A and B are shown apart, each in its own frame.
Chain A
Amino acid sequence: MSVAGGDAATRPGVAGLGVWLGGVGLRLSVLIGMAVTWQLVTTLVDDPVNWPTFVDVIGRFWDSWASDPDAWLRSLAPSLGRLLAGWFGAVIVGVALGSLIGLSAVARHSVGPIIQFLRAIPPPALLPLFIVLLGIGDAMKVAMILFGAIWPVLLNTVDGVSSVEPLHRETGRVYRIGVRDELTRIVLPSAAPKIFAGLRMSLSIAVIMMVISEMVATVNGVGFELVQAQRSFRNLDVWATIVLLGIIGYVLNAMLAAVEGYVLGWHRGAMRTRS
C-alpha cells in the first residue's frame, strides 16, 4: 500500500490505477505465483500419489465438492450446522457471562483464576470426556466447539465491559436511562471493538474444533470425509478436503469481517479522527 501511495503521489495521473494494481493486483500475483510454484515443484518431484499437482488437487476439489450439491448436503451442511450452533452458543454464553463478570469487580477477582484454568486446558483433550458424557452425536460435537470457542469471546467481553469510559456510564446515570439501556446502549457498544476481536479468534478456533470432533466416531461431516479419504488411500481427496476447509474458514471470516465493518463503522471513523 505504501509503495502504491508513493507512486500515486509522484504520478497523480495514474494514481487510481497505481492503487488498484498495488491492492488487488499484488494479492492476485502472489496467489498465482504460489500456484505456479506448486505446479512446477510437484511436476518435478513426480510423485502424484503423495504430492499431487495443483491442477490435480483443484480438479478433484471441483469434482468432489464444488460441482456436487449432493456432497454439500451430505457433508458440508451437517458440518456447518454444528459449527454455527457451537459458535453462536459460544458467542451468546460468552458475551452474557462476560458482561456479568466484567461489570462486577468482585466477580472478576473471584472467577478470574477459574477462567484462566479452564482456558488453559487444550480443548481437544476434552474429547474423550465429552464422548463419555454426551455420546458421539451432534450434542458432543457442538459442546466441543462451544467449549473451544468460548474463551476469546468471554475474556474479551470481560475486558471490554470492565474498561468502559467511566464518564460514559455516569452520563447514563445522570440522565437516568435505566439498567437495560445502560447495558445495551452504553456498555456493550463501548465494548464492541474488543468483543469483535474475540469473535474473530473464536471463529477460527470453532473451525478447528469442528474438524477435530468430526474425526472420531462420526458418520458424516467434512472432518469425517477427510479421515475416510485418508483411510481408503484417496490422497487426492485428502488434499481437496483440506482446500475446502481453508475456503470454509476464509469465507466465514470474510462474512464476520463484513458484519464487523458495518457494526463498528463508528469506531473506525472515531479512530481515524483521533490520529
Chain B
Amino acid sequence: MTHPLLEVEHLGYRYGDADAAAPPALDDISFRVDHGDFVAIVGPSGSGKTTLLRCIAGLGHPTWGEIRLGGHPVTDVPKELAIVFQDYSRSLFPWMRVRDNVDLPLRHMGLPAEERRQRIETALAEVGLSKAMDLFPWQLSGGMQQRVAIARAVAYRPEILLMDEPFASVDAQTRADLQDMAMAVWKAHDSTVLFVTHDIDESVYVANRVIVLSAPPTTVAAEVPVPLPRPRDQIDTKASPEFVALRAEVARLIRRRKADAVGGTSPAETAAITDDR
C-alpha cells in the first residue's frame, strides 16, 4: 500500500501563551501532497502559514491533529525534508563561504567526498552561482543569497522541499527569475514542493494546485487545481485567459473567507470591508 508523501489531518495550533477560550491560530487544516506535486499554500497575512510549515518541518508541534510524512507521523524534524526560509540573511551562515554553506548538511550523510563535491557544484550550477562558490553570503545580493539557500536544499536531495515565502524579500524582477528557477529545479529533480506565499499571482503561476487558507481561526477554504500547461512563461502564461480566471477565483476565495471571518462579529463591518475591496 502506498501513502501520499505528505498528509495533514485536522491540524490545529494554539499559541502556548493564549488562553484556552481564545480562538486557535490554526483550527482545522487537512490536505495531502503526492510525490512529484508542486503545491502552493496561499492565505491572508496572519493566517498561520508559517506556523503550519513549521509544524510540518517538526520545528513546532500541533495542538491537535496529525501530520504524516511517507505514512509515518512527524514527531521530530524528518530527514526527508528541507526548508527554504524567507529570511535568507538569517538562514545562511555568514562565517561560511557559499560552498561550505551548501556542504554543511551533506557532512553527515555518509557520502563519498567526490559525490559531496559534485552535489555542491551541480546544485550551485543549477541556481547559476558556480562562480560565487568561494564568496561569503554577505558579498552577494539578496536574490543571490536566496539562490544559495535553494542550492543548499537541492544538494540535500529532500523528498519534499518546503518553501516559506521564499521570494517575499526580493525585488519584482528577481522574484520572477527565482520563480522560474524554482520550477526548473523542481522539474529537473522530479522533486515535491510545498510552497507557501501570500502572493496570489505567484501561487497560481508556480503550482499544480493551490490550497487557499481562510483568515484565523484558519481552515482550508478551498483547493484550486491549476491545469496551466508547462513550461510556464512569465509573460505568456500570465497573459492567458486561464491564468487570469484562476487568479480571480483564488482572489475571490480569499476575499470571501476574510469577509466571513469578520462577519461573525459585525455585519456592518463586513459590508465596509467588502465595499472597500
Contact = CB atoms under 8 A, between A and B. Distances in A.
B81 A273 contact: no
A129 interface: no
Nearest to B88: A167
A189 B93 CA distance: 9
Contacts of A185: 93, 96, 104
Nearest to B152: A175
Nearest to B140: A273
Contacts of B83: 171, 174
A217 interface: no
B104 A174 contact: no
B95 A175 contact: no
A267 B95 contact: yes
Nearest to B85: A167
Interface string B59-101: 1000000000000000001010111010100110111100000
Contacts of A274: 138
Is the contact region of chain A dominated by helix, strand, or loop, or is it mixed? Answer: helix
A181 B104 CA distance: 9
Contacts of A172: 104
B195 interface: no
Given A181-B104, A181-B108, A270-B138, A173 B59 contact: yes
A177 B91 contact: no
A220 interface: no
A170 B84 CA distance: 11
A266 B104 contact: no
Contact of B105 (A176, A192, A266): A176
Contact of A178 (B59, B108, B152, B156): B108
B154 to A, nearest CB: 12
A175 B94 contact: no
A109 interface: no
A270 B90 CA distance: 12
Interface residues of A, number: 24
A170 B59 contact: yes
Interface string A26-54: 00000000000000000000000000000
Interface in B131-161: 136, 138-139, 152, 156
B57 interface: yes
Contacts of A192: 95
Contacts of A266: 94-96, 136, 138
B189 interface: no
Nearest to B83: A174
B107 interface: yes
Contacts of B90: 165, 167-168
A165 B88 CA distance: 12
A202 to B, nearest CB: 22
Interface in B105-145: 105, 107-108, 136, 138-139
A152 to B, nearest CB: 22
Interface in A146-180: 165, 167-168, 170-178
A192 B96 CA distance: 13
A204 interface: no
A173 B57 CA distance: 10
Given A165-B90, A168-B90, A168-B93, A175 B105 contact: yes
Contacts of B91: 167-168, 171
B185 to A, nearest CB: 17
Contacts of B87: 167
A190 B79 CA distance: 25
A186 interface: yes
B147 to A, nearest CB: 16
A267 B139 CA distance: 12
B82 A174 contact: yes
B107 A174 contact: no
Given A167-B91, A175-B82, A176-B79, A269 B108 contact: no
24 contacts: A165-B90, A167-B90, A170-B59, A171-B85, A173-B59, A173-B77, A174-B59, A174-B81, A175-B152, A175-B156, A176-B108, A177-B104, A177-B105, A177-B108, A178-B108, A181-B104, A181-B108, A186-B93, A189-B95, A266-B96, A266-B138, A269-B139, A270-B136, A270-B138
Interface of B: 57, 59, 77, 79, 81-83, 85, 87, 90-91, 93-96, 104-105, 107-108, 136, 138-139, 152, 156
Closest 4 CB pairs of A and B: A175-B105, A189-B95, A167-B90, A270-B138
